[in-house]
């Protein structure tokens, strides 16, 4: 009787299997680490001010009566228009919330330089997106930014 020995290059011990995480588990671990280690700030719904410092703000309030707290991980310019009496920009923003979920919002900013007071007057209005899904590019950017903010090596590639 002849014995054949087959070598498995991808063989993992039980301990190695316990230490390896699936992609879903890795993302969940990152979100939990972010939830526990980042400094969250109130997310303004509406704000006005000068020179990008907002002195009047209205915040999103949840069903529990608490102010929505978030950490901005991603933004991309969706639209920009210069006008006679000011400029307008719209950005897509993605926040990590204190609850550990990602929140997609659109931020519309209007601003105008005032020569009489030599300040930029600005207004911000955020709208929570109905579609909370992320494109592959956005997901990779958000997860890599989260890695960087947590002092970890970016690990996601498109």
As a whole number, mean pLDDT of residues 83-93 equals 90
Q: What is the DSSP letter of 42?
A: E
Identify which of 110, 68, 80, 108 has the alpha carbon closest to the alpha carbon of residue 92: 108
Mean pLDDT of the chain: 86
Amino acid 1: pLDDT? 53
- Strands of the sheet containing 86-97, edge to edge, are 41-42, 69-83, 86-97, 102-114, 119-128, 44-50, 53-59
Residues 34, 38: Cα–Cα separation, whole Å: 5
The pLDDT > 70 percentage for the chain reads 85
* Residue 18 dihedral angles phi and psi, to the nearest 5°: -65, -30
Confidence of residue 64 (pLDDT cuts 50, 70, 90): confident
User: What residue ranges in 10-68 does DSSP mark as E strands?
Assistant: 41-42, 44-50, 53-59
As a whole number, mean pLDDT of residues 122-147 equals 94
Going by their DSSP bridges, the two strands 119-128 and 102-114 should be labelled as antiparallel
């Amino acid at each position: 009787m002849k014995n054949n020995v087959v070598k498995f290059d991808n063989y993992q011990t039980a301990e190695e299997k316990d230490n390896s995480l699936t992609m879903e588990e890795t993302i969940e671990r990152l979100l939990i680490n972010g939830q526990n280690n980042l400094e969250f700030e109130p997310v303004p719904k509406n704000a006005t001010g000068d020179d990008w410092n907002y002195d009047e703000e209205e915040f999103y309030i949840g069903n529990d009566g608490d102010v929505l707290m978030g950490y901005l991980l991603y933004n991309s310019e969706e639209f920009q228009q210069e006008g006679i009496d000011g400029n307008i920009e719209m950005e897509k923003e993605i926040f990590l919330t204190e609850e550990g979920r990602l929140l997609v919002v659109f931020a519309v900013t209007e601003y105008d330089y005032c020569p009489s007071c030599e300040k930029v007057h600005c207004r911000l209005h955020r709208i929570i997106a109905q579609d909370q899904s992320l494109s592959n590019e956005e997901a990779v950017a958000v997860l890599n930014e989260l890695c960087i903010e947590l002092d970890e090596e970016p690990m996601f590639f498109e």
